[in-house]
Amino acid sequence: MKAAAMAAGIVASRRLRDLLSRRLTASNYSGLSISLRLTGSSAQEEAPDHSYESLRVTSAQKHVLHVQLNRPNKRNAMNKAFWREMVECFNKISRDADCRAVVISGAGKMFTAGIDLMDLASDILQPKGDDVARISWYLRDIITRYQETFSVIEKCPKPVIAAIHGGCIGGGVDLITACDIRYCAQDAFFQVKEVDVGLAADVGTLQRLPKVIGNQSLVNELAFTARKMMADEALGCGLVSRVFPDKEVMLDAALALAAEISSKSPVAVQSTKVNLLYSRNHSVAESLNYVASWNMSMLQTQDITKSVQAVTENKELKSVTFSKL
């Protein structure tokens, strides 16, 4: 009986490996891309409980939300409403048991021009307070609240895919480095712009970009000079994982990837994100101990039985019904 069980386990393991290998190829996205293109962002339904001034949130398909920066006439510049609404939006997404993956993109001709300096000038250039100490506390409170605008993306247990076209400037780099996966169109460029307006980036780029691309010299160059990094260079250094001919093709691919991720066990996917982030900031030994403690409970999920059964029966995982999480 034990020998038979081991043999069955080996067969299931091989089938699972082969299935994953097939699904990771680019050709796997083609069918999903066609179906998603037929229901483009303009035709997507507005997501319930998501009504914002600076964002548009739609249900791209089952288990996938599409968050758009939605100030196209202002090049999606990040105004006061944006900094507040991103936190509200992603806190809701984190609690949304139906959502399993998120795509974030920009409406109009570019991803984002970064901070809306005109809208934020009063807070930054005319801070409240009677003396240096009180003004400093006021500014620190603003900075930490703005940091949370992007940290909330990282804290969200659902994978977040950034789909970037045109300019991704200043705060845009802070935003995308908090995302889990980054795709871009060929016309995309990236710019750590803060030194050109007299300040050091303070809401995530200087902390996350070195860990994303693993090249401190290049990070320093970009941050000290505010020069543009074009799409091909971004691909070469690892800032993005794929480059596409244009925005439409890129969005198709990003939504197809989100659909693929959403077909997996949400326990498995969200546990993976939590442990990847923990491992980024801790030693190998600490991270192994953490995942052991994590999986002592997560291994008891029914999702494992359902997933293995689907593989052994040559069924697509998207045909499996996983409970909400």
| Residue 241 near residue 231, CB atoms below 8 Å | no
CATH topology for the 266-319 domain: Lyase 2-enoyl-coa Hydratase; Chain  A, domain 2 (1.10.12)
| Residue 76 near residue 106, CB atoms below 8 Å | yes
Tell me the pLDDT tens digit for each residue of 98-109.
Answer: 999 999 999 999
From 115, 161, 164, 261, active-site residue: 115
From 98, 119, 202, 233, active-site residue: 202
Known catalytic membership, residue 169: no
Known catalytic membership, residue 18: no
Task: Kindly report, as residue ranges, where domains of CATH 1.10.12.10 are found in the chain.
Answer: 266-319
Known catalytic membership, residue 115: yes
From 171, 180, 187, 213, active-site residue: 171
CA dist list (Å): 52 to 82, 249, 298: 9, 27, 35
CATH code of the region 55-263: 3.90.226.10
The Cα 188–Cα 12 span in angstroms is: 42
> Under 8 Å CB-to-CB from 17, ≥6 apart: which residues?
none
The Cα 41–Cα 177 span in angstroms is: 23
Tell me the pLDDT tens digit for each residue of 88-98.
Answer: 999 999 999 99
Known catalytic membership, residue 202: yes
Known catalytic membership, residue 123: no
Task: Kindly report, as residue ranges, where domains of CATH 3.90.226.10 are found in the chain.
Answer: 55-263
Tell me the pLDDT tens digit for each residue of 148-197.
Answer: 999 999 999 999 999 999 999 999 999 999 999 999 999 999 999 999 99
